[in-house]
A and B are shown apart, each in its own frame.
Chain A
Amino acid sequence: MKFTLSWLKEHLETDASLEQICERLTAIGLEVEDVDDKAAYKPFVIARVLAAEKHPEADRLKVLTVDAGDGKPVQIVCGAPNARAGLVGALARPGTYVPGIDVTLSVGKIRGVESHGMMCSEKELDISDDHNGIIDLPEDAPVGTSFAAYAGIDDPVIEINLTPNRPDCTSIYGIARDLAAAGLGTLKTMPIPSFKVEGELTTAVKIELDDQRLCPGFALRLVRGVKNGPSPAWMQKRLRAIGLRPISALVDITNYMTFDQGRPMHVFDANKVKGDLVVRRATEGETILALDQREYRLGPANVVISDDNGVESIGGVMGGEHSGCDENTTDVLIESALWDPINIARTGRALGIITDARYRFERGVDPEYMMPGLERTTELVLELCGGTASKATLVGYRGFEAKTIDFPVSEVKRLTGLEISSAESAEILKGLGFGVAGSGERLTVSVPSWRPDVDGKADLVEEVMRVHGVDKIKPAPLEAIGTVNARILTTLQIRTRTARRALAARGMLEAVTWSFISEDQAKLFGGGSAALKLANPIAADMSDMRPSLLPGLLSAAQRNADKGYGDVAIFEVSGTYESDKPEGQRRVAGGVRRGTASIAGAGRMWSNASKGGGKPVDVYDAKADALAVLEACGLPMSNVQFETGAPEWYHPGRSGTIKMGPKVVLGYFGEFHPKTLAALDIAGVYCGFEVFVDAMPEPKKKATRTKPPLDLSPFQAVKRDFAFVVEKSVEAGAVLRAAQGADRKLITGVNVFDVFEGASLGEDKKSIAIEVTIQPSDRTLTDEDFEVLTGKVVASVAKATGGTLRA
């Protein structure tokens, strides 16, 4: 919302400076977004041409001697046809920025003659399009004074960022009312329009709507015998200052009313209207050529004003070209109507029309000003265009019933902490136009027709507070909780945080990738359901909620590789989406390693030169990452099982599933299926994992923080090695479990230290060498004891895997 200072002062009697006004506007919630104090016009002074000689070298140029009142005439070369001795115009001296031509002047030489400035045209000053000659002021214009002040273009322009709840301040009058209430002056009373009314309105108005709210009132008047020339300079100046192009008196008057009073008006050329005006829903497919010269296709959701010719106007949004007023208009129909804010917003959005009328109607136009607005507009039309006004007609209006609010003044202190007396609260509300009844601590407040945003006590608190001064609210400490704070994070939050730190501590970089990915990628990773598809994605490849972190991470890794950073280890701990329900949003820790980015470090290194340097990442790197997450989250690893194989996007022989019990899947890890990589259009060596942080069970509640007593055996622990020959298909995990199970008391650890395949073992065989740690607890073991235990281990492994002790 833009306005000029002088326009504001038309409604506000004030001595306040521009700066004070702007400060106060922001302080009461009308945030000043921009102020143009017109300082750019300051250097332009009124000057008189003392002499105008022909340029010696150019027929069309003149050499002027110009006096700016300081007794030191300057020489200026000028090409304007109207340049002559005696002319009084606007002078710009060297160093001045001339807005209309975007040039900062300097002393120049034109065809050999020095020029010390410029006599400007209106176009050069950016005040109109007139470039036929330089500005030609009356003889008595005060030489040496500011041209802008003389011409009235030094009027500062203020732009406020209006919040959508304040329709009343879509008018300069409303802004003046707010400022006056806030103590910055007095609101001027507007004279009641008075004019002679003759004759009847010949056009009837009918509202044919199923829902009265769509058009709660429609007022119309005919003015005959108008002359629609240009509007007067004062009006043009104001409109231009706020960025509106003057068109004709009738159109300018409606625009003026829109900004001055927040009352959008519409004018029809009465001679182009055929039959009665009917307010109705448009029929499907009906079209209108609107005032912006564009054709709009309408439907029953749009309310229109039509006549026998068809649709003449889109109600409250934009008029039609057909019945618009032009220089030939002699009889004009002036419309002042009310429209449903929601429907206006919908219609405007659907048709893509943004107008000053829509802006106001969708926020809510003062219903009680519908008739006064018509009167004021009529008065302006009669004043500027002449003619005679008919009687007005008003249909559909059921009057305005003010909301009343029971307002205990203590609410102000309760919500804001401010101590404001009941009397001051009442004063403030009255200043804003609220009706206040009662006294003491309980007021009955009635809400004015221009404040549809005010509904209840809290709204009144805001009114009192913003006018009293928000800056008067002093910070007050929140009551301390009075104790050392207990744990505040949930297990899931702690695990999320720990998973991040654990993965970063493994040399991985944390990424945050998009929650939405392409449909193809979503389908590739088990997603792509209709419920998780955006109806209005910002881009085609950001259409589906991701079923997995992996596609985003894999693509990101490849983007880095494409930039020359091929060895990357990245992870993310975030949401994936199984359904559109809250519980369908999972918390997943996922990661991807590419190239040689193992935990030890990427790339070639002298220390691994013997192995060719830079081992490519594989399934075991991913497994270690996945386990690191589970361990960091405090999951007891003894409960965890592994299965070969993972979902189809993984390499079937180089991937695993981590489970707890038969049902709970904790995660997947592995290398990727070549088809997955090909479908993602990425190349290189990758491994990755996903751990479902939300699938881990809540840890068991412990009665005490005390750890169980440490039971240290006084007897020496012993290690024994075994090598078993097994079928190639036998998993090492099975051998480990069997060995461990041979004696759960004595055997405290089992580890694989070698896996060997070779012809000597036979085709389809391999050797798995394990180290078993034995910890006696009650006595030193004898040779016989060891023999028995060895026998148990061998028997257990043989039973479970068919393995035999390697010879």
Chain B
Amino acid sequence: MTELTNLQNELLAAVAGAGDEAAIEAVRVAALGKKGSVSELLKTLGAMTPEERQTRGAAINALKAEVTDAIAARKAELKDAAIAARLKAETLDVSLPVRSSPAERGRIHPISQIVDEITAIFADMGFSIAEGPDIETDYYNFTALNFPEGHPAREMHDTFFFNPDEKGERKVLRTHTSPVQVRTMEAQKPPIRIVIPGKTYRQDSDATHSPMFHQVEGLVIDRKAHVGNLRWVLEEFCKAFFEVPSVTMRFRPSFFPFTEPSFEVDIQCDRSGGQVKFGEGNDWMEILGCGMVHPNVLKAGGLDPDEFQGFAWGMGLDRIAMLKYGMPDLRDFFNADVRWMNHYGFRPLDMPTLFGGLSA
């Protein structure tokens, strides 16, 4: 039996000494291949007596098992070592910078973002979004909105005019988003609940006035909407928009040709500390104008003012953007300075929703 022991020792030594996958394969062939040393021994089993088989046969099989296992173990070992060596060789400097995601670099202008915020809020109250042209007729911009010809109220709007056409009519750049009120009434029967964001133009330029700016207007027409409802809509809007639990508003009687009664609305705020905070403080800040739609405007929209009624409000989009997000100068909105856009802009995937919060 020593011969078997010797062979086993010899083979195990060869297994241990195999340095790579080829060497171990050679050992396997030499031992377990067709003509391998162990295979040759197994062939002798057939000529043995049953007794011999019981002892020597078992020993040969044990040898085979032992060697097979050793080879498999060594093979696995060598494979792991090879992988480890390859991985080591493949190591890269992961501290090298990579490109940022374009979706992280891009920016949405605050105006677009705010329009989305407003859309999210008013959609929840059953409003839809209406739009109209920037270049308006005098009729829609003034006359249909109850601005009498030559009335000083027209002067309050520093209007941009186009040259008169052959009929002597001159178009204007709309001075407010209100023309869309009448355009909507003409196109749609009540009930009407719309919000109108858009560009507006007046001949004015300083830190808080720009010849081009943005307004958002709201209009509700049905058979019973009144000032109390108007108040509720505006309070709910301001709470949702400024993302504060409560706001205090002050309605002051005022004058706009297209509403009667008319109001200016102040919102209570705290201006100490250089920032404006809503829902607290002792100051009032004028934030919007509103009122019940003037009977003449309803008539211009083809509605009977004794049957239908409603309210409208309008405010500066840029202004509420500045109030909420802190841009100091309106003129920067239109300068397309990449540093401003990067700083005050919004990431493209930050989409304002009510379920996810308006702002992150």
Task: Spell out A's residues near B (CB within 8 Å).
Answer: 26-29, 31, 163-166, 341-343, 345-346, 349, 362-363, 413-418, 456-459, 461-462, 465-466, 470-471, 473-478, 480-481, 485, 488-490, 493, 497, 500-516, 530-538, 542, 545, 552-553, 556-557, 559-560, 563, 565, 568, 570, 573-575, 577, 580-582, 584-585, 599-601, 605-607
Contacts and interface: CB of A to CB of B under 8 A. Distances in A.
Given A461-B261, A462-B253, A488-B127, A534 B162 contact: yes
Nearest to B310: A415
A181 to B, nearest CB: 13
Contacts of A565: 338-339
A606 B131 CA distance: 48
12 contacts: A26-B252, A27-B253, A164-B152, A416-B228, A458-B295, A480-B126, A489-B128, A500-B112, A505-B106, A514-B211, A531-B171, A570-B341
B135 A585 contact: yes
A509 B338 contact: yes
B161 interface: yes
Nearest to A545: B135
A467 B53 CA distance: 122
A346 B126 contact: no
Contact of B108 (A343, A363, A414, A501): A501
B155 A31 contact: no
A512 B111 contact: yes
Contacts of B125: 478, 481
Interface string B137-155: 0000000000001111101
Contacts of A488: 119, 123, 127-129
Contacts of A473: 227-228, 231, 251
Contact of B338 (A471, A500, A531, A568): A568
Contacts of A493: 129, 131
Given A500-B112, A504-B348, A534-B161, A510 B341 contact: yes
Nearest to A163: B255
Max chain A Cβ within 10 angstroms of own Cβ: one of B123, B203, B251, B261: B261
Contacts of B150: 341-343, 345-346
Contact of B336 (A457, A471, A545, A570): A570
Contacts of B231: 473-476
A298 B277 CA distance: 53
Contacts of A577: 134-135
Nearest to A490: B129
Interface residues of chain B: helix, strand, loop or mixed (majority): mixed
A674 B125 CA distance: 52
B64 to A, nearest CB: 43
A470 B251 contact: yes
B333 A512 contact: yes
B261 A458 contact: yes
B236 to A, nearest CB: 8
Interface stretch (B26-34, B36-44, B69-77, B95-103): B95-103
Given A459-B260, A462-B260, A580-B135, A471 B250 contact: yes
Given A164-B152, A342-B149, A537-B160, A510 B107 contact: yes
B345 interface: yes
A31 B162 contact: no
Nearest to A363: B152
Contacts of B337: 559-560, 563
B278 interface: no
A416 to B, nearest CB: 4
Contact of A31 (B96, B105, B149, B254): B254
A476 B348 contact: no
Interface of B: 96-100, 102-103, 105-109, 111-112, 116, 119, 123-129, 131-135, 149-153, 155-156, 160-163, 165, 170-171, 173, 199, 201, 203, 205, 211-212, 220, 224-229, 231-233, 235, 250-255, 260-264, 292, 294-295, 305, 309, 333-339, 341-342, 345, 347-349, 351
Contact of A509 (B126, B212, B253, B342): B342
Q: Please name the 6 residue pairs, one residue from A and one from B, whose CB atoms are nearest each other, closest first.
A: A29-B253, A507-B102, A342-B150, A504-B106, A417-B228, A163-B255
Given A163-B255, A414-B224, A415-B261, 6 more contacts: A459-B260, A515-B134, A515-B201, A531-B165, A534-B162, A570-B338
Contacts of A459: 260
Nearest to A507: B102
Nearest to B349: A505
A807 to B, nearest CB: 39
Interface residues of chain A: helix, strand, loop or mixed (majority): mixed
A27 B228 CA distance: 17
Contacts of A502: 348
A607 B124 CA distance: 48
A561 to B, nearest CB: 10
Contacts of B103: 504-505, 507
A601 B105 contact: yes
A557 B336 CA distance: 8
Contacts of A513: 334, 336
B250 to A, nearest CB: 7
Nearest to B131: A493
Given A29-B254, A476-B232, A504 B336 contact: no
B309 A509 contact: no
A534 B173 contact: yes
A417 B227 contact: yes
Nearest to B256: A163
Contacts of A462: 253, 260-262
B227 A416 contact: yes
Nearest to B220: A478
Contact of A505 (B99, B220, B292, B348): B348
Contacts of B338: 509, 560, 565, 568, 570
Contact of A342 (B112, B151, B203): B151
Nearest to A582: B133
A513 B331 CA distance: 11
Contacts of B253: 27-29, 462, 465-466, 470
A623 to B, nearest CB: 16
A559 B226 contact: no
B298 to A, nearest CB: 10
Nearest to A602: B105
A696 B8 CA distance: 82
Contacts of B99: 600-601, 605, 607
A484 to B, nearest CB: 10
